[in-house]
Amino acid sequence: MKQFEKDFLLGAATAAHQVEGNNIYSDYWAQEQMAHSSFVDKSGIACDHYNRYKEDIKLLADAGLNTYRFSIEWARIEPEEGNFKQEEINHYIDMIDYCKENNIEPIITLHHFTSPAWLIKKGGWEADTTPDYFERYTRYVLEHIKDKVNYICTINEANMGIQVKSLMERFKKQMMAQAKNAGGDNQVQMGLNMQKMLENQKLVALENMEVFGTASPQIFNSTARSEHGDELVKEAHKKARAVIKELNPNIKVGITLSLHDIQYIDGGKDIADKEWVDEFTHYLDAIKDDDFLGVQNYTRSVYDKNGIMSAPENATLTQMGYEFYPEALENVIRKVAKDFKGDLIVTENGIATDDDKQRVEFISKALDGVNNCINDGLPVKGYCYWSLMDNFEWQKGFALTFGLIAIDRETLKRTPKPSLEYLGSYIK
Ligand code: BGC
């Protein structure tokens, strides 16, 4: 095992909605309560990290880690439009201070998927007004945290809406193929399936009207993003970066992107190249002046001439159904470093598994890759494992366990897994 130098940012990440609990003014909370919700669980109290953050940060520090990436929840700071809550920003300042007391470097994320429900009522992530609202929220946060942090991620996985779009298109194609394979008339089969889907869509649309005042709420990553929406996300990032630099030029600013290790075989090059443009290259213009890029990677995706392939038959799959492929991280770092010239921080990388030995193996291989990149002179400044604790995995609920710390769902008792100590042992 090759350890990292003391100034390497080694830690773990969480996101407010997934761990804090009772994020009642957010769009996700509203979706979770709906009768036609696609969430298998409600976030509810989540991990009660809002009240227990000291215990959690202490566990991270005791394991030898030096970095904690967490998000500030916009829906808490501005639960109603223009009504900013001093006590909520104070809460996050307390968290930052507590990190520092424990020699932990806080990396703050301003937007990690959730938005205030009021923003969605105003058109959400397809509305021209959203970048300005995001800028105003960022200004409020910065005026309060001033020089207390050194690193800020503006938007988490800014490219997620684009990925959701291609996933939906793929899903539609698969449904059509399945209908065909089932031996039926494709049109009719589709017609029948579509009928059902449309019926459901109608109910969902009605409920959305009630909750968000629109049949198709533009929530950050539950809907396919249009090209215009994608431009708005970039604009929101640039506006937030400008405000941060105006109020404190010393803070290092970056965005985070969800990046697959895109590979290809047999005629798949063109599709793979296009995927990489959608996933990464077309953001370059918006991020080229950033101080760092947050690299987020979980697995690879392989393309042939027909598109994305299933994982190889002998592959080990994680709880998410992804191929166990920790080597992906090194490949992705090398690829982005060709075009992005700022620093690189791995802001998320991890595995959902109930076998902690497998997690240790994943971390060990992923960090070998990080070390290889550093040895070759690539500017990798940090690695945050996803996630510090088992948490609310969005629509898929609590069953998927990414954490270095287990959370008893009845008592919320924390139990560090051996992987926590293992990750901590990588720092000199
Ligand atoms: C997100 C996290 C999520 C993780 C695991 C990332 O896409 O930023 O919020 O929990 O992946 O699926």
Residue owning the nearest CA to atom 5 of ligand 1: 393
pLDDT for position 180: 60
Rounded distance, CA 273 to CA 262, Å?
8
**Nearest ligand 1 atom to alpha carbon 160:** 7
Helical H segments across 127-283, by residue range:
130-145, 160-181, 186-212, 227-247, 269-279
What tens digit of pLDDT does each residue of 296-305 get? 999 999 999 9
20, 257, 389, 394: which to mutate for ligand 1, most atoms within 8 A of CB?
394
Whether 393 is in the pocket of ligand 1, judged by its Cβ within 6 Å, is yes
Query: In the structure, what pLDDT confidence band is assigned to residue 162 with cuts at 50, 70 and 90?
Result: confident
Compute, in angstroms, the gap from residue 387 CA to the centroid of ligand 1: 9
- Ligand 1 atom at minimum distance from 350 CA: 5
37-86 pLDDT per residue, tens: 889 999 999 999 999 999 999 999 999 999 999 999 999 999 999 999 99
Ligand 1 touching residue 261 (CB < 6 A): no
Cα 381 to Cα 361: distance, rounded to the nearest angstrom: 22
| Pairing of the two strands 307-308 and 300-304 | antiparallel
Q: What is the pTM of this model?
A: 0.95
Q: Give pLDDT, residue 187.
A: 40
**Ligand 1 center to 350 CA (angstroms):** 9
* Mean pLDDT value of segment 370-392: 98
Share of the chain above pLDDT 70, in %: 94
